[in-house]
């Protein structure tokens, strides 16, 4: 008979505990403070500030609009750029912030001199103190011809002022409002013995698509202060037509967004996803 008593008593005990637990949960929910509007705003602001800090000082996404860096970077590549390590060292943070000097061969994103707001990407071929010149399109640095397996040349395409820099004069206009008009007049002051000597706190950048790149040969040195960062890897790549190296208008941006939405699947270069930039 006792065998029939235990199940009934146990069920009542469990049911009683469940009821008590539900009542306790209700009480706890009533006692739990609700998030106020000011707390919600503060939480959102903290998240926004953290995100803004990351894209301003650490990482930022850029897209490649022109073919001047082919085949290293293609038109339509979206690259994550490290904004932290290549930027100028700040004395007030000292060793707390990582920093690395820009080296020969580095690919960098920078603000074009004399044209605020326009970001360009080029490969650094000369650092302060280097002596460079070109002969028949081949680059010489400090008297040595460089082996550059990453560059691209157009067969049979030759321009003296481009391929014999700086020995042949550069073409220039007379419009003082043009951002690059002074460089052809100033370049000779940096020439010694047929070489262009890179001054302090400056770099010389060129595109890997060497015959189709408006680079330091045409508009001058890259100031250290203009360096934004180094591309790390391709995040996404979309096969799109090239555009000129100018700031896109609002209508151009809208067109690009629409094109990306329509052709996401058939124009994405899936093989370039997470492709390292070097």
Q: What is the pLDDT of residue 207?
A: 96
Decide if 206 contacts 140 (C-beta within 8 A). Answer: no
How many CA atoms are closer than 13 Å to the CA of 174, on its beta-carbon side? 0
Contacts of 76 (CB under 8 A, 6+ apart): 63, 64, 237, 238, 239, 240, 267, 269
Task: Indicate the burial class of 32 (C-beta count within 10 angstroms; 0-12, 13-18, 19 or more).
Answer: exposed
Q: What is the pLDDT of residue 42?
A: 56
Residue 68 has φ and ψ, to the nearest 5°, of -70, -15
Decide if 78 contacts 236 (C-beta within 8 A). Answer: yes
Q: What is the pLDDT of residue 182?
A: 84
Q: What is the pLDDT of residue 155?
A: 73
Q: What is the pLDDT of residue 84?
A: 76
The CATH code of domain 59-276 reads 2.10.109.10
Residues of the chain below pLDDT 70 = 1-35, 37-58, 86-99, 173-179, 244-248
Decide if 134 contacts 140 (C-beta within 8 A). Answer: yes
Q: What is the pLDDT of residue 116?
A: 79
* Residue labelled with tokens 């904004």: 83
Q: Is 115 left (phi over 0), alpha (psi -120 to 50) or beta?
A: beta
DSSP line for 117-183: T-EEEEEEEE-TT-EEEEETTEEEETTEE---TT-B--TT---HHHHTTTTSPPP--S-TTSTTTTH
Q: Which residue, among 44, 74, 78, has the nearest Cα to 61 in the 3D structure? A: 78
Q: List pLDDT tens digits, range 72-112.
A: 999 999 999 988 776 555 444 445 556 678 999 999 999 99
| Domain limits, the chain | 59-276
Task: Indicate the burial class of 277 (C-beta count within 10 angstroms; 0-12, 13-18, 19 or more).
Answer: middle
Q: What is the pLDDT of residue 69?
A: 96
Contacts of 138 (CB under 8 A, 6+ apart): 145, 146
Decide if 73 contacts 79 (C-beta within 8 A). Answer: yes
Q: What is the pLDDT of residue 269?
A: 96
Reported pTM: 0.76
Q: What is the pLDDT of residue 3?
A: 29
């Amino acid at each position: 008979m006792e065998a029939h008593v235990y199940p009934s008593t146990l069920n009542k005990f469990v049911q009683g505990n469940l009821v008590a637990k539900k009542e306790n949960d209700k009480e706890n929910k009533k006692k739990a403070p609700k998030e106020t509007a000011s707390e919600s705003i503060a939480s959102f602001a903290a998240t926004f500030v953290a995100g803004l800090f990351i894209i301003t000082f650490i990482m930022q996404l850029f897209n490649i609009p022109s073919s001047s860096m082919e085949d290293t970077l293609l038109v339509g590549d979206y690259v994550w750029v490290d904004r932290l390590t290549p930027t100028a060292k700040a004395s007030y943070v000292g060793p707390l912030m990582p920093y690395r000097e820009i080296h020969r061969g580095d690919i960098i994103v920078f603000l074009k001199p004399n044209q605020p707001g326009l970001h360009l990407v080029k490969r650094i071929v000369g650092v302060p103190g280097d002596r460079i010149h070109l002969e028949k399109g081949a680059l010489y640095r400090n008297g040595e011809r460089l082996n550059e397996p990453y560059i691209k040349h157009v067969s049979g395409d030759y321009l003296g002022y481009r391929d014999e820099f700086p020995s042949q004069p550069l073409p220039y206009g007379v419009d003082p409002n043009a951002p690059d008009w002074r460089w052809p007049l100033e370049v000779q002051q940096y020439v010694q013995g047929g070489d262009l000597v890179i001054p302090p706190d400056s770099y010389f950048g060129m595109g890997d698509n060497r015959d189709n790149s408006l680079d330091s040969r045409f508009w001058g040195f890259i100031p250290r202060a203009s360096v934004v960062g180094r591309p790390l890897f391709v995040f996404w790549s979309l096969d799109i037509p090239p555009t000129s190296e100018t700031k896109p208008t609002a209508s151009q941006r809208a067109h690009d967004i629409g094109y990306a939405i329509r052709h996401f699947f058939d124009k994405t270069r899936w093989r370039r996803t997470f492709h390292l930039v070097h």
